[in-house]
Structure formats: C-alpha cells, structure tokens
Amino acid sequence: MNRGFGNPRAENNPNRHGPVKKMDAKTTRSILLRLGKYVMKYWWLFIPAIVFTLLANQLSLLGPEFSGRAIDAIASEDGVQFDAVWENVGKMLLCYAASALLSYTLSFTMIHLSQKIVCTMRRQLFEKLTSLPVNYFDTHATGDIISRISYDIDTVNATLSHDLVQVMTSIYTVLGSLIFMWNISKPLILVFVVTVPVSILFTRFRSKKIKPLFSKRSHKLGELNGYAEEMLSGCRTIRAYHREDEIGGRFDSRNTEAMDAYYNAEYYGATLGPTVNFINNLSMSLIMIFGGVLYMFSESGAVKEGALFFITLGGVAKFVQYSRKFAGPINEFANILSEFQSAFSAAERVFRILDEEPEQADAPNAAALVKCRGEVELRDVSFGYTPEKQILDHVSVLAKPGKTIAIVGPTGAGKTTIINLLMRFYDVNGGNILVDGTEIRELKRDSLRSAYTMVLQDTWLFNGTILDNIRYGKENATLEEVKAAAKAARIDSYIEQLPDGYDTVLTDDGINISKGQKQLITIARAMLADASMLILDEATSNVDSRTEIKIQEAMNELMEGRTCFVIAHRLSTIRDADTILVLQNGKITESGSHDELIAKGGFYSTLYNSQFH
Ligand SMILES: Nc1ncnc2c1ncn2[C@@H]1O[C@H](COP(=O)(O)OP(=O)(O)OP(=O)(O)O)[C@@H](O)[C@H]1O
Ligand SMILES: [Mg+2]
C-alpha cells in the first residue's frame, strides 16, 4: 500500500498535498461527529472495546496497590507476614495477567473495528467516484484521488485503531492514578504541581517548534516522490535524450533537501525523549526524597497513622509506580493530539470527495430511450468547458439514421468535445441535442449512453484476459461472437498465435501489446456491442494503412444501419462518409460529401490534397 518514501501516518506522509492545515473548531467538531457515526455503526464492537479498555486499565492500576501491600507485609513491625506477601503478590500477578489478556483482546477488537470502518469508507468513496461527473476527473489529478483512497484512509485507520484506545487509556490512567495517589499521600502530589506544568509547557513548546519541521519534511518528501514518479514514467524519453546525468543531479538536490528536512525534524524530535525522561526522573527523585522523609517520620512515630503526612514503605513504592503511570500519558498527549490533527485533515480530504455533487440526476420525467433509430441532431449547440473559452459556437448537424458523419478539423478544434456532448459527459451551454427527436436531457442517461458504442482516442483496456476485454462490449457474448468481432477488427490472427490465445492476460492498461493492437481490441469490443450509434474518435490512428483499409471494409459492414460519427486525421478512412463536416474555430465551415467538398476547393480539399499528393 505504501508506495512512497516514509509511512502513511500524516506526519510524514509525502503524498498528502501541502502541510497539515490548522482546522477551525467547527470543522473539527463536524469531522469528529462524522467519524463518530462511522464508529457507532459498529457499536457492537465499539462498546465491548470501551469495556475492555476500562477493565484492562483498572486491573493494571490495581497492580501497584497489591505490590505496595506486599512490601508493607514484608516491612511489617511484627516480622515478615508471608501469607499476606504471597496473597498480594498472587493478586498482583493475576491483575497484570488479566490486564494483558484484555489488552490483547482490545487491540484485536479495535483492529477489527477500524478495518470495518476503512472498508466502508473505501467502498463509499469508490461508489462516489463512479457517480461523479466526468468533469471532476478532468479537473482533479488522478494521483491525488488515489492518495485519498489509500494514504488518507490509512491515516484515519491508524488513528482509529491505535490512538482512540490510547486516548481512552490515557484519560482513565491519569484520573485513576491520581485517585490512587490521592489516597496514598496528598502531600506528595504537590511534587506534580511543579513537574507537570514544566512537562506540559515543554511538550507544547516543542510541538509548536517541531510541527512546521514535520510539515516541511512531508512537503519535501512529497516533492521527491513526485519527481521520482515523473521520471519513472518518462524513462524512455529521458534515455532517448540522454538526460540521465541531469535528472540524477536534480534528484540529488531534492534528495539532499528532503534529508535535511528529515534531519531537522528528527533532531528536534530526538531531543524530546531525553528531556522528558529527565523531567520524569526528576519528579521520581523528588517523590522518593520527600516520600523517604515522610516515611522516616512515620516510622519513628513522629507522624501517627491516619495523619495527613503518614506513609508506609509500601505506600512510597506504590506512589512511585502510580507517578510513572500518571506521567506517561501526559507526556504522550501532545503526540496523540498531533496525530489526531493529521487524521482529521486526512478524514476531511476523504469527506470532501464524499460531499462532492454527483452527476446531476436524470430529470424526474426522463424517458428511457428504447428502440433507438439513431437520428441525432445538434441544434444550434454552443459549448465551452469554461465560461471564458467558447469551444463550439452555434453548431448544427443532422445525422439521419444509418448515415455516417465524418468530422475533420485542426487539432484542438473541438471534435472530441462534440463526442463528450453526444454522450452527455458534459451538458451543452446553449442549443439542443436531440436523439430520435427527443432532447437528450429529457432521456435517462443510462439508456442514452447504451445507445452508443464508441472507440476513443485513448484506448482503455483493463487487467484481464483479451476475451474479457472484448466481451466488455456485450457481457453475455459467446466465444464465437467474440472471435467474429476480433476477425472483423483484423486482430484474430494475432490473438490466436499467442500461447494463451484469447485467455492471454493483459497487464495494466495493456502494456504488453502494441498501441495499434490495443486499438484493434477496442474496435473488436465496439463491434460486439449492439448499439444503434457508433462513435469512432481516431480509432485507427495507430494502425498501419493496410490494416486500416481492411478494418474500414469490416467497419462498413458493421456500420450498416447504424449512425456513425467518425473522427479521423487520415482522410482516406472517411472518403465514403455520407457527410463530411469541417470544424474550424468552433464553427462548421464546410459540409458535404467528399466529392462536393473537393469540388468546392476549400479547407477539406487542401487538406486532402496535401495528404495524397
Ligand atoms: N476537459 C477539458 N477541460 C477544459 N478544456 C478542455 C477539456 N478538454 C478539451 N479542452 C479544450 O477544448 C479544446 C478542444 O478540444 P478537443 O479535445 O475537442 O479537440 P479535438 O478537436 O478533439 O483535437 P484533436 O484532433 O487533437 O483530438 C482544446 O482547446 C482543449 O484545450
Ligand atoms: Mg480529439
């Protein structure tokens, strides 16, 4: 899971973007409430966990009490009371053993609980992602989304499974030890009046100083990670331009910066342990000194039993043990607090996706598109991805059922944009798109999208067999149908000569086959799908000309009776289209058949002649 440098805890998690932000109280409260809801969903695990925590801590708090009693039984004025010694030692052991057992059960329960929550969160996040509009993915970096699914949820998980119990334990232990110490000797507690504030002040001072250093460290590690990722994905280009030395140098400087940041953070972090130890030892020594003095007076009879300053030897021993228990959580508190803070910002990043508006719901009276004839009309359509930049400007196109419409135009003219609009990945800003005479916004999205089959500019294959990848177009297709489609796409002979044939597993995104072969597989997939409209966006751009012509023949068969939108830079493929549209600067500047456009002698004829003469 953890693919980068460092671990997923937010403090040193490089893939979080930017430093851990300070959150206002309201946001913190709402996140806390929301996390609480997740926890309470599994109350049947959480409530036992609380009970286990309380019991385990109570038992471990009883340990020193019994050890103190055992010491008193040894130091008794009437000689060593063996029975009492054994009894108390036995009870002490029993308490500690039972506490350990409960702690074990507790950890187990909490891991179980946090895993359930994480699983739920991941599922919700994933479901949300599948319902978000395409626009979301166009405007958010994939890496960032992935880091929310993995790193941020992991951070929340770590806090839930570990820190939550830690907080409950800390509070219980601090209060419990205080009560025990109060019962043993009130005057000795005064020692803490000096040491606790010192320790709190120090940890606060330190965390203030260290936090920015940790943020800087995450930031620097993030940069290093990002750089490494970029270089790995571009390794071929780097080799081709012989830039290995240069990028090595740049890596070195980033690496050094990251290590410096790491050193600084760790350096100040490392000063904490010895200082806290020093304060702890100091308070323990003070307790021993004052406890010893009080014990001397008590022993000599100067202080009577039951008086405020009375203490036994066992009492001093108990007190020392409780003081250690008491000081531990106080010193840890600052750490836990910062871990909670990072978990909160991680949770916030997750919740932000969950709160994202899903793709606009279908209109309430939306009709399903049934038995689509395949008549598509763009009526005075205007569109821009952003208000500032208009991509399509009052475009009108009528595609009669079964006809082939080819769209040509310079790069960036908006050809793919038209496809985005036809599929309703985006909605038009002005005008209408009609399918079989119905405005597409009045149709159910699912039914509209399934009326189309498409082969896009970016091929997409998933990690699975070739058979499954082709069958993606029609789930219940038989092997014969798949083979026929592969044959039509001219990829059958290639597939058959593979050792595993149709069962060959394609690795991520089909890296183990060539770009052209990938396109042919997606064409086969589209041929299998039974839809009345077909979209081909540069579908054969990576295929050699001879294969392209052969596919074209097969395609002509396939296109029979289907309305087709074909975008191609190689004009030979669209010669036979019923209508060719030339899209320039957001407008349709020419339209007609191949012969008509050639005769016209405009943009198309110039382009065509430049390709063939
Ligand atoms: N998701 C998007 N958000 C914002 N702008 C976009 C988006 N997709 C494309 N554009 C912009 O819209 C314009 C048209 O892009 P489009 O992909 O439709 O061009 P195209 O005609 O298909 O070009 P090509 O022949 O290179 O495929 C371009 O200027 C592009 O920068
Ligand atoms: Mg395009």
CA max distance for the chain: 125
Nearest to 416 by CA among 408, 534, 389: 408
| Residue 364 is assigned to a structural domain of this protein | no
**CA distances for 606 relative to 414, 473, 602, angstroms:** 20, 38, 6
Number of domains in the chain: 3
Regarding whether 598 and 456 lie in a shared domain, the answer is: yes
Q: Which ligand is nearest to the CA of 409?
A: 1
| Residue 343 is assigned to a structural domain of this protein | no
CB 537 within 8 A of CB 455: yes
Atom nearest to 135 CA in ligand 1: 1
Any atom of ligand 1 within 6 Å of the Cβ of 415: yes
Any atom of ligand 1 within 6 Å of the Cβ of 414: yes
Strand 505-506 to strand 464-465: parallel, antiparallel, or no bridges (unpaired)? antiparallel
In whole angstroms, give the CA distance from residue 258 to residue 262.
Answer: 6
Shortest-distance Cα residue to atom 28 of ligand 1: 412
| Residue 365 is assigned to a structural domain of this protein | no
Any atom of ligand 1 within 6 Å of the Cβ of 102: no
Atom nearest to 386 CA in ligand 1: 4
| Residue 461 is assigned to a structural domain of this protein | yes
Q: Domain containing 465 — which CATH number?
A: 3.40.50.300
Regarding whether 42 and 173 lie in a shared domain, the answer is: yes
Residue 504: other Cβ atoms inside 10 A? 15
Shortest-distance Cα residue to atom 24 of ligand 1: 411
Regarding whether 302 and 244 lie in a shared domain, the answer is: yes
pLDDT of 90 reads 95
Last residue of a domain, one of 259, 286, 310: 310
Q: What phi and psi values does residue 438 have, to the nearest 5 degrees?
A: -105, 135
pLDDT of 383 reads 94
Regarding whether 523 and 555 lie in a shared domain, the answer is: yes
Last residue of a domain, one of 138, 153, 184: 184
| Residue 340 is assigned to a structural domain of this protein | no
Helix or strand (DSSP H, E) at 383:
strand 376-383
Regarding whether 190 and 165 lie in a shared domain, the answer is: no
Residue 583 Cα to ligand 1 midpoint, Å, equals 13
Regarding whether 70 and 46 lie in a shared domain, the answer is: yes
Any atom of ligand 1 within 6 Å of the Cβ of 138: yes
Regarding whether 136 and 237 lie in a shared domain, the answer is: no
Regarding whether 215 and 157 lie in a shared domain, the answer is: no
Residue 506: other Cβ atoms inside 10 A? 20
Regarding whether 39 and 174 lie in a shared domain, the answer is: yes
Any atom of ligand 1 within 6 Å of the Cβ of 416: yes
| Residue 333 is assigned to a structural domain of this protein | no
Q: What phi and psi values does residue 576 have, to the nearest 5 degrees?
A: -85, 5
What is the model's pTM?
0.73
Residue 396 Cα to ligand 1 midpoint, Å, equals 19
pLDDT of 334 reads 67
Last residue of a domain, one of 161, 184, 207: 184
pLDDT of 23 reads 60
Give the pLDDT means over successive 10-residue stretches in the chain (613 positions): 36 40 73 91 92 92 91 84 91 94 92 91 92 86 76 85 86 92 90 83 77 76 77 83 88 90 81 80 89 89 83 90 86 74 82 88 83 89 92 92 90 91 92 91 89 84 88 87 88 88 78 79 85 84 77 72 86 85 91 91 88 69
| Residue 367 is assigned to a structural domain of this protein | no
In whole angstroms, give the CA distance from residue 13 to residue 221.
Answer: 8
Atom nearest to 409 CA in ligand 1: 21
Regarding whether 584 and 557 lie in a shared domain, the answer is: yes
Residue 383 Cα to ligand 1 midpoint, Å, equals 12
Could you give the residue ranges of the DSSP H alpha helices within 235-312?
235-240, 244-300
pLDDT of 613 reads 61
| Residue 279 is assigned to a structural domain of this protein | yes
**Those residues with Cβ within 8 angstroms of residue 328's Cβ, 6 or more apart along the chain or in another chain:** 173
Residue 408 Cα to ligand 1 midpoint, Å, equals 14
Q: What is the DSSP letter of 366?
A: P
Q: Domain containing 257 — which CATH number?
A: 1.20.1560.10
Any atom of ligand 1 within 6 Å of the Cβ of 417: yes
Residue 414 Cα to ligand 1 midpoint, Å, equals 5
Residue 413 Cα to ligand 1 midpoint, Å, equals 7
Shortest-distance Cα residue to atom 9 of ligand 1: 417
Regarding whether 201 and 120 lie in a shared domain, the answer is: no
Atom nearest to 569 CA in ligand 1: 25
Residue 397 Cα to ligand 1 midpoint, Å, equals 19
Q: Write the DSSP assignment of 434-479 as a string of letters.
A: EETTEEGGGB-HHHHHHTEEEE-SS----SEEHHHHHHTTSTT--H
Strand, helix or coil for residue 514: coil
Q: Which ligand is nearest to the CA of 569?
A: 1
Tokens matching residue 4 = 């980068």
pLDDT of 473 reads 81
Any atom of ligand 1 within 6 Å of the Cβ of 456: no
Shortest-distance Cα residue to atom 30 of ligand 1: 412
Burial 10-30 (b: 16+ CB within 10 A, else e): bbbbbbbeebbeeeeeeebee
* C-alpha torsion 160→162→168→170, nearest 10: -140
The residue whose CB lies within 8 Å of the most ligand 1 atoms, and thus the one to mutate among 132, 389, 416, is 416
Q: What phi and psi values does residue 586 have, to the nearest 5 degrees?
A: 80, 0
**CA distances for 397 relative to 22, 300, 440, 585, 590, angstroms:** 53, 108, 15, 16, 11
Strand 587-592 to strand 533-537: parallel, antiparallel, or no bridges (unpaired)? unpaired
Any atom of ligand 1 within 6 Å of the Cβ of 411: yes
Residue 415 Cα to ligand 2 midpoint, Å, equals 5
Any atom of ligand 1 within 6 Å of the Cβ of 391: yes
Regarding whether 84 and 214 lie in a shared domain, the answer is: no
Give the structural domain span for 293.
186-310
Q: Which ligand is nearest to the CA of 408?
A: 1
Beta-bridged to residue 453, according to DSSP, are 534
